[in-house]
């Protein structure tokens, strides 16, 4: 069983713009503990008074996970960690020539000597010590091994190979970790950054090569490109490599959402496992396949990771996904109505816009009413408008599938001309008055679905009707015809009673 060392509250908090309060840190710690991580790196105690308060709250919470503080190879850092009541420290020593010369201005012997002093000091406090080799992937590998063996001889409980700037690749990971685990007698961890996009694959490869623990952050938070993503390591390890973790996958999504809310860092929609699109289908072919057998286009079931399958609507939408969504809405539509709903969804999608729930609701209500109550149907509409051109509309209606009515109208604009053309055409059937006209956008944007509401009257009877299209002219004509059909149908029913 591989172990998870969660550093969301330390390395993850170093994400630019992220700063957590002690209360927020405790909230996250409780959640990742419930998830089942083995170690929680709660922060770096030497950093500030607020940081120590947060670490102390977590250490005092009585969580199942081992609570750890990051420290440098300094007694003062160890003192601060001990005062917070943590069980372990992540004692990090730079090991690459670049870090030794440019950052610490020390040589290799001085680093080894500092371990001789600080590790026993920490052990005297009763602390577990994980010795981290910073920038190990760019260091002399023989020196990394020497550092780890010195740490083990001094009482360190485990060591950590840190790919500090994410330059490892899977092949080099396997080579370096395999050699180290053969020559070191205590457990080895891997700490990977994602600068080249290899953090998860390097982490998995390290576990396959003998590492016993992997450092992760929720949502892959961390400096620069972030750290190895907890959710991706857990699921890819479990599903693709049969690596077991003491973690409940069903809590991954809600943990991700909590961390996203508290840190203010949004999760990319197409992020693996926890992104909003991870189990969302639009394509008609894909949706149809998933509805028949989810394995056709889903490598894992969404409920395994606390998710639900979703269908989104757009230009790739097919009948199967629309039918599934209508079923969830409790709506029944015949084949003709379903065809019309799909057509209108695609009309919006072709304009580069996603169809929202509100859009679909309006489309469904409009189509079902129009189709069920249609006496007068639109066959053709032509509108001419422009600079120095009087707006003119020509319309052709099919009345009761028996009679064609053609009329035209002019107006102050294309909408006005279209409505007047409809009124003239309808006047051949019945005298109907337009009492009120309103228009609103269902969702934002210049290509949003437009909802037109009208009130029509005939012989003292007033009805309300609506039309919904991305085209305001079509929406207006649709609303007029829906109202007309309501009045005509009601008159027919009254005559028959």
Nearest Cα neighbor of 447 from 381, 366, 367, 349 is 349
- The verdict on residue 279 lying in a domain is no
Q: What is the mean pLDDT of the chain?
A: 87
pLDDT at 285: 42
403 against 390, higher pLDDT: 390
Range with the lowest mean pLDDT among 104-108, 253-257, 353-357, 378-382?
Answer: 353-357
204 and 97, same structural domain? yes
* CATH at 164: 3.20.20.70
In a domain, 236, yes or no: yes
- In this structure, of 225-239, 328-342, 442-456, the range with the lowest mean pLDDT score is 442-456
- For 470-494, write each residue's pLDDT tens digit: 788 988 888 888 888 878 776 766 6
Does residue 9 sit in the same domain as residue 91?
Answer: yes
Q: Do 168 and 213 belong to one domain?
A: yes
Strand spans (E) along 415-449: 433-441
Which of 343, 368, 393 is a domain's end point? 368
Give domain status of residue 278, yes or no.
Answer: no
18-60 residue pLDDT tens? 999 999 999 999 999 999 999 999 999 999 999 999 999 999 9
Residue 249 has pLDDT above 60, yes or no: yes
Q: What is the pLDDT of residue 282?
A: 56
Burial class of 418 by CB neighbour count within 10 A (0 to 12, 13 to 18, 19+) = buried
Q: Which of 335, 351, 368 is the last residue of a domain?
A: 368
**Are both 361 and 483 inside the same structural domain?**
no
The mean per-residue pLDDT over the stretch 121-138 comes to 97
In this structure, the answer to whether residues 214 and 348 fall within a common structural domain is no
Report whether 245 contacts 213 (CB < 8 A): no
Whether the CB-CB separation of 42 and 52 falls below 8 Å is answered with no
What is the C-alpha separation between 220 and 188, in angstroms, rounded? 21
364 shares its domain with 380 = no
Domain total in the chain: 3
User: Are 204 and 167 in the same domain?
Assistant: yes
Residue 93 sits in the same domain as residue 171: yes
Bridge partner list, 465: 454
Q: How far apart are CA 240 and CA 238, in angstroms?
A: 6
| 488 and 422 fall within a common domain | yes
Does residue 434 fall inside a structural domain?
A: yes
The answer on 171 and 147 residing in a single domain is yes
CA max distance for the chain: 105
Q: Tell me the mean pLDDT in the region 412-425.
A: 90
Integer Cα distance of 179 and 140 in angstroms? 13
> Are 113 and 131 in the same domain?
yes
CATH number, position 407: 3.30.160.270
The answer to whether 34 and 258 are in contact (CB under 8 A) is no
% of the chain at pLDDT higher than 70 = 87
Domain check: are 232 and 174 in the same one? Answer: yes
Structure confidence at residue 288 as a pLDDT band (50, 70, 90): very low
The answer to the question of residue 44 being in a domain is: yes
Burial class (CB in 10 A: 0-12, 13-18, 19+), 319: middle
In a domain, 381, yes or no: yes
* 40 within domain boundaries: yes
Is 277 inside a domain boundary?
no
| Listed range (278-287, 304-313, 403-412) with the worst mean pLDDT | 278-287
**Predicted pLDDT of residue 496:** 56
Task: Write out the residue range of the structural domain in which residue 79 sits.
Answer: 3-263
Strand duo 310-311 + 158-163: pairing: unpaired
Which of the four pLDDT bands, split at 50, 70 and 90, describes residue 290?
very low
Query: CA of 268: how far to CAs of 117, 189, 274, 278, 297, in Å?
Result: 45, 28, 9, 10, 20
- Reported as a single tens digit per residue, the pLDDT across 432-462 is 888 888 887 655 555 667 878 888 888 777 7
The pLDDT value given to residue 328: 67
Domain final position from 346, 368, 390: 368
pLDDT of amino acid 294? 54
Q: Cα separation of 157 and 188, whole Å?
A: 9
Strands 433-441 and 450-458: what pairing? antiparallel
Q: Which of the four pLDDT bands, split at 50, 70 and 90, describes residue 283?
A: very low
pLDDT of residue 281: 60
Reported pTM? 0.71
**DSSP string of 86-123?**
-SEEEEEEE-SHHIIIIII---HHHHHHHHHHHHHHHH
């Amino acid at each position: 069983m591989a172990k998870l060392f969660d550093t969301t509250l330390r390395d993850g908090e170093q994400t630019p713009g992220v700063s957590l309060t002690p209360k927020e840190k405790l909230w996250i710690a409780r959640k990742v503990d419930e998830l089942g991580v083995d170690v929680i790196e709660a922060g770096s105690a030497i950093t500030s008074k607020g940081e120590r308060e947060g670490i102390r709250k977590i250490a005092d919470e009585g969580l199942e996970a081992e609570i750890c503080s990051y420290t440098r190879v300094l007694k003062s850092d160890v003192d601060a960690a001990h005062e917070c009541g943590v069980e372990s420290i992540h004692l990090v020593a730079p090991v690459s020539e670049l870090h030794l010369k440019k950052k610490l201005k020390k040589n290799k012997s001085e680093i080894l000597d500092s371990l001789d002093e600080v590790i026993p000091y920490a052990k005297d406090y009763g602390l577990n010590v994980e010795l981290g080799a910073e920038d190990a992937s760019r260091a002399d590998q023989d020196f990394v091994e020497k550092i780890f063996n010195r740490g083990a001889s001094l009482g360190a409980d485990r060591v950590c190979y840190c790919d500090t700037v994410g330059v490892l690749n899977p092949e080099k990971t396997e080579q370096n970790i395999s050699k180290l685990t053969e020559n070191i007698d205590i457990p080895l961890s891997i700490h990977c950054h994602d600068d080249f996009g290899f953090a998860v694959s390097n982490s998995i490869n390290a576990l396959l090569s003998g590492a016993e623990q992997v450092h992760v952050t929720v949502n892959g938070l961390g400096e620069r490109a972030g750290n190895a993503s907890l959710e991706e390591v857990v699921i890819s390890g479990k599903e693709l490599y049969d690596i077991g973790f003491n973690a409940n996958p069903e809590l991954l999504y809600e943990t991700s959402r909590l961390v996203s809310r508290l840190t203010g860092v949004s999760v990319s929609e197409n992020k693996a496992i926890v992104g909003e699109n991870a189990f969302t289908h639009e394509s008609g072919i894909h949706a149809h396949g998933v509805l028949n057998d989810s394995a056709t286009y889903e490598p894992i079931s969404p409920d395994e990771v606390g998710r639900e399958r979703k269908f989104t609507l757009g230009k790739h939408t097919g009948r199967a996904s629309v039918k599934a969504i209508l079923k969830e809405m409790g709506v029944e539509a015949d084949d003709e109505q379903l065809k019309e709903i799909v057509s209108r969804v695609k009309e919006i999608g072709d304009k580069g816009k996603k169809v929202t729930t509100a859009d679909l609701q309006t489309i469904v209500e409009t189509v079902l009413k129009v189709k069920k109550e249609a006496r007068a149907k639109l066959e053709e509409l032509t509108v001419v408008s422009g600079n120095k051109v009087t707006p003119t509309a020509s319309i052709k209606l099919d009345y009761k599938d028996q009679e064609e009515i053609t009329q035209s109208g002019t107006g102050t604009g294309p909408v006005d001309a279209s409505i007047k053309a409809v009124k003239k055409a309808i006047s051949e059937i019945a005298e109907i008055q337009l009492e009120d006209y309103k228009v609103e956008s269902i969702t934002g944007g210049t290509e949003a679905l437009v909802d037109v509401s009208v009130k029509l009257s005939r012989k003292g009877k007033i009805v309300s009707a609506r039309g919904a299209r991305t085209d305001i002219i079509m929406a207006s004509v649709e609303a007029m015809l829906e109202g007309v059909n309501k009045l005509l149908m009601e008159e027919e029913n009254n005559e028959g009673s």
